[in-house]
Structure 1
Amino acid sequence: MVQDIVFVTGNANKLKEVQMLLSGSDINLSNEPLDLDELQDTDLQKIAVAKCQQAVQVLGAGKPVFVEDTALTFQEFNGLPGAYIKWFLKSMGLEKIVQMLDNFPNKSAQAITTIAYADSEGKIHVFEGITDGKIVPARGPTAFGWDPIFEPLESHGQTYAEMTKEDKNVISHRGRAFAKFNQFLSGN
């Protein structure tokens, strides 16, 4: 049975990547570029759940909907910039984000995606994917966020930006979160 689900995003690149990750499943994905308030917190699950609850209020109950929130955490900074990476990127750019770690030997980072899904009954389910890696000087195309500065440990020395979309999706935080989400949807 095909499920109609709304993905709340205004990010065209993110939408394309999610469509690719969910291709082959029994999901009819549409999107709504809602401008939701973002809870200011370091807890990604709290942020995603709050955004999902807002989306349900705006779109109306009974419509399955999900939001996705992504973070980039630096071990040296106890998890920052975390959920604030979008704003760091917007105000500083890739080069200055990399420079933040110049005086520290530890360049370890985690890419984290958290999905909050409200089913047709309004119950919220949370799925998370994590990829370990390190921060490196930018390499590869700069079209998709911080991909050029994140080198996953499993990537054989490539940044996300240098990888093919297919290879990236196998090991990425988003790919892992959506694999869990898809598995959940397949069981319902």
Structure 2
Amino acid sequence: MSRILLATRNAKKLAELQRILGDSVKVLGLSDVREFPEEPETGATFEANAVDKAVQAARETGEISLADDSGFCVDALNSMPGVLSARWAGHHGDDDANKQLVLAQLTDTPDERRGAEFVCALALAVPGEEPRVVRGQWRGVVIREERGSNGFGYDPIFVPEGGDGRSSAELTPAEKDAQSHRGLATALMLPQLKAALGLI
């Protein structure tokens, strides 16, 4: 079976990619390979961070590696939190604090100015080759109260445009995969990924 390393320790991201790629590919996470010192994310863009993570993972492990850098960009906050999404409230990975800070910052923002998008830059690094990177974007609006218990991060405060009014956290995993920023980026990368894995 082909395998690919997704340079993350986030179990939900690993499960999401495994669902998208199906049973013909085994998705490994950083916990499944020999440990190495991970370089901090210092890029100014999602693409820069994704490429840095994928290239380091491929170099350190010899595995074909994918890495994503994703975040939540709110129009009224000048596209922030952006690359700072995971640590917007000051502590990395504190989803509740991050969501509450965004909601507080938008308290006086009228509904028509609460546009936002999730962004995912996905980079593929094959040892000995130049990295490739794609971007997926998922537009919608920030609602005023959390809804739903699926997903993670900012999902409970985001309603995608063109949908039926459910938040991202109220969608089923399959529904989210079909329309999300990460699902779109993965679909854009899939031909290159399959070629790298020898699946086509």
Q: Same-fold call, TM > 0.5? A: yes
Contact 1:95/1:138, CA 8 A, preserved across alignment: no
Q: 1:138 aligns with which of 122, 146, 159?
A: 146
1:174 aligned to which of 175, 182, 186: 182
Distance in 1, Cα, partners of 2:52 & 2:43: 11
Q: Which of 38, 52, 56 is the aligned partner of 1:36? A: 38
Query: Over residues 43-73 of structure 1, what are the superposed CA-to-partner deviations in whole Å (9 max), with x where a residue is unaligned?
Result: 111111122222233224xx21111111100
The structural deviation recorded for 1:111 is: 0.3
Separation in structure 1 between the aligned mates of residue 150 and residue 100 of structure 2, nearest angstrom: 11
2:102 matched to 1:101?
A: no
- What do residues 4-53 of structure 1 show as CA deviations (whole Å, max 9, x unaligned)? 311111011111111101115x4332221466333334411111112222
- Cα distance in 1, alignment partners of residues 150 and 180 from structure 2: 17
* Identity value in percent: 26
Equivalent residue in structure 1 for 2:128, among 109, 121, 124: 121
* Distance of 1:15 and 1:154 partners within structure 2: 27
- Residue pair 2:42, 2:49 contacting (<8 A) in 1 also: yes
Q: CA deviation at 1:82?
A: 0.5
For residue 9 of structure 1, what is the aligned residue in structure 2?
Answer: 8
For the 8 Å contact 2:150–2:172, the answer to whether it is kept is no
Contact (CA 8 Å) 1:42, 1:82: kept in 2 or not?
Answer: no
Contiguous gaps of at least 5 residues in structure 2: none
Structure 1 residue ranges without an equivalent (≥5): none
2-structure distance, mates of 1:42, 1:110: 18
Q: Look up the match of 2:59.
A: 57
1:122-153 CA distances to partner (integer Å, 9 max, x unpaired)? 32010211100111121011662211011110
Mapping for residues 60-71 of structure 1, pairs under 5 Å: 60=62, 63-71=63-71
- 1:98 is paired with a residue of what secondary structure? helix
In the alignment, which of 40, 45, 48 is matched to residue 46 of structure 1? 48
Paired residues for 1:11-30 under 5 Å = 11-23=10-22, 26-30=24-28
* TM-score, scaled relative to structure 1: 0.87
User: How far, CA to CA, are the matches of 2:173 and 2:151 in structure 1?
Assistant: 13
The answer to whether the 8 Å contact 2:58/2:65 transfers is yes
Q: How high is the TM-score relative to the length of structure 2?
A: 0.83
